[in-house]
């Protein structure tokens, strides 16, 4: 059995989360965002182990927060480590299978093409591995810059991504699309790469991460962020993206089943800046799917109904995503799952 990128719905041994503190970009909004992180921790720890990275100076505070929330006995482990930001999806290790055994890939993280400091983020995976948290699972560090939120796999050899993000000059200068495709196939064990040309969200500073746009739910299903308002600035791009998705074919030649996720009411920050609200940024865990909600009752409810139909064997748990998108990301962006057999609490 060759190398294979594991889909998110494959069995997991745990999930990784990095906690916010006053010295991160969350500082001015910590009072609003820390309860959301706590809700995420509570939901994940109901179903599987949770590893929380925390800056050393905040570890005592976090233990107190978890204790006051009744989570002192939950399957949660804290690991004191320095990091630049909390978007764990983009610097956490990517799980693949090689010869039937798990392998972790540690791609370089450069702050989304050099936009933000990332040196400490880029060292987190090696610190976790050196501490023995991955047991005997190898961690392979690679020179290629790649963020976990920029790729999604169907478990059958197909990879979904956006050309605008992966081919952005700041990430891997000197590598063209063909060379990137060859590297992705070699490292991830995929056979087909779907490069979306369309799809964007205002307020997104990742150059178009796929995990805010379209996601595999099973080998035959893609849920995607739909826009049905022709007066909205996103309409043309998301309609064009939907048409691209309709043209994709599975390895067996059949089209994917496409599930449009509703368009939430526009969200803005206190300065009137449009925020990147997307229901596609859901997190699949053992037994549940965590879905961001945006205090938009009708679309929140419809998004939950449509994802419930995609995941009939998993509980759908809504998490308030509005405080999260103040920093341009949501649930999936904050977390990274470990494949079965990887994480050793």
- Per-residue tens of pLDDT for the chain, all 345 residues: 589 999 999 999 999 999 999 988 899 999 999 999 999 999 999 999 999 999 999 999 999 999 999 999 999 999 999 999 999 999 999 999 999 999 999 999 999 999 999 999 999 999 999 999 999 999 999 999 999 999 999 999 999 999 999 999 999 999 999 999 999 999 999 999 999 999 999 999 999 999 999 999 999 999 999 999 999 999 999 999 999 999 999 999 999 999 999 999 999 999 999 999 999 999 999 999 999 999 999 999 999 999 999 999 999 999 999 999 999 999 999 999 999 999 988
Determine the pLDDT at residue 345.
86
Q: Is residue 310 a part of any domain in this protein? A: yes
Determine the pLDDT at residue 291.
98
Residue 17 and residue 340 in contact, taking contact as beta carbons nearer than 8 Å: no
Task: Give the catalytic positions in this structure.
Answer: 333
Q: Is residue 345 a part of any domain in this protein? A: no
Residue 246: which domain range? 4-339
Determine the pLDDT at residue 24.
85
> What distances in angstroms separate CA 154 from CA 71, 157, 161, 219, one per listed residue?
34, 7, 12, 5
* Residue among 207, 203, 336, 218 at smallest CA distance from 278: 203
Taking 3-state DSSP, the helix, strand and coil percentages for the chain, each rounded to the nearest 5, stand at: 30, 25, 45
> What distances in angstroms separate CA 344 from CA 64, 77, 133, one per listed residue?
23, 10, 5
Q: Which helix (H) or strand (E) holds 284?
A: strand 283-285
Q: What is the CATH number of the domain that holds 77?
A: 3.75.10.10
* 307: its two tokens: 């994802």
Tens of pLDDT, residues 157-187: 999 999 999 999 999 999 999 999 999 999 9
Q: Is residue 107 a part of any domain in this protein? A: yes
Task: Tell me how long the chain is.
Answer: 345
Residue 311 and residue 289 in contact, taking contact as beta carbons nearer than 8 Å: yes
Number of domains in the chain: 1
Sign of the CA dihedral running 162, 163, 167, 169 = negative
* Span between the terminal Cα atoms of the chain, in Å: 28
Q: CA angle 72-73-75, nearest 5°?
A: 105
Residue 62 and residue 54 in contact, taking contact as beta carbons nearer than 8 Å: yes
Distance in angstroms (rounded) separating the CA atoms of residues 340 and 13: 4
Distance in angstroms (rounded) separating the CA atoms of residues 181 and 165: 13
Distance in angstroms (rounded) separating the CA atoms of residues 62 and 154: 36
* Residue among 146, 150, 148 at smallest CA distance from 160: 150
Q: Is residue 344 a part of any domain in this protein? A: no
With tokens 């800056």, the residue in question is 55
Q: Which helix (H) or strand (E) holds 220?
A: none
Q: Is residue 297 a part of any domain in this protein? A: yes
Q: Is residue 314 a part of any domain in this protein? A: yes
Q: Is pTM, for the whole model, over 0.85?
A: yes
């Amino acid at each position: 059995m060759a190398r294979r990128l594991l889909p998110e719905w494959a069995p997991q041994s745990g999930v990784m989360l990095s906690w916010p503190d006053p010295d991160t970009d969350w500082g001015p909004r910590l009072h609003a965002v820390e309860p959301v992180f706590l809700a995420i921790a509570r939901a994940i720890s109901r179903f599987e182990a949770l590893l929380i990275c925390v800056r050393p100076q905040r570890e005592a505070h976090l233990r107190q927060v978890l204790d006051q929330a009744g989570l002192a006995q939950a399957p949660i482990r804290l690991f004191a480590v320095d990091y630049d930001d909390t978007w764990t999806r983009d610097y956490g290790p990517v799980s693949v299978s090689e010869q039937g055994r798990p392998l972790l890939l540690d791609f370089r993280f450069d702050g989304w093409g050099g936009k933000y400091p990332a040196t400490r983020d880029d060292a987190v995976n090696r610190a976790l591995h050196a501490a023995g948290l991955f047991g005997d699972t190898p961690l392979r560090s690679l020179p290629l810059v790649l963020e976990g939120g920029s790729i999604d796999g169907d478990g059958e050899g197909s990879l979904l991504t956006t050309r605008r993000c992966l081919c952005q000059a700041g990430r891997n200068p000197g590598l063209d699309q063909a060379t990137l495709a060859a590297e992705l196939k070699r490292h991830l064990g995929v056979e087909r790469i779907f490069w979306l040309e369309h799809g964007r969200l205002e307020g997104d500073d990742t150059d178009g991460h796929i995990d805010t746009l379209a996601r595999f739910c099973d080998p035959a299903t893609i849920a995607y962020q739909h826009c049905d308002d022709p007066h909205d600035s996103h309409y043309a791009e998301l309609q064009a993206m939907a048409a691209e998705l309709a043209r994709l074919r599975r390895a067996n030649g059949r089209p994917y089943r496409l599930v449009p996720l509703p368009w939430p009411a526009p969200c803005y920050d206190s300065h009137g800046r449009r925020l990147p609200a997307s229901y596609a940024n859901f997190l699949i865990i053992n037994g549940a799917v965590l879905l961001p909600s945006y205090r938009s009752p009708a679309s929140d409810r419809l998004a939950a109904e449509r994802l419930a139909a995609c995941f009939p064997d998993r509980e759908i748990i809504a998490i308030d995503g509005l405080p999260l998108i103040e920093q341009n990301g949501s649930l999936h962006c904050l977390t990274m799952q470990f494949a079965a057999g990887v994480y050793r609490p």
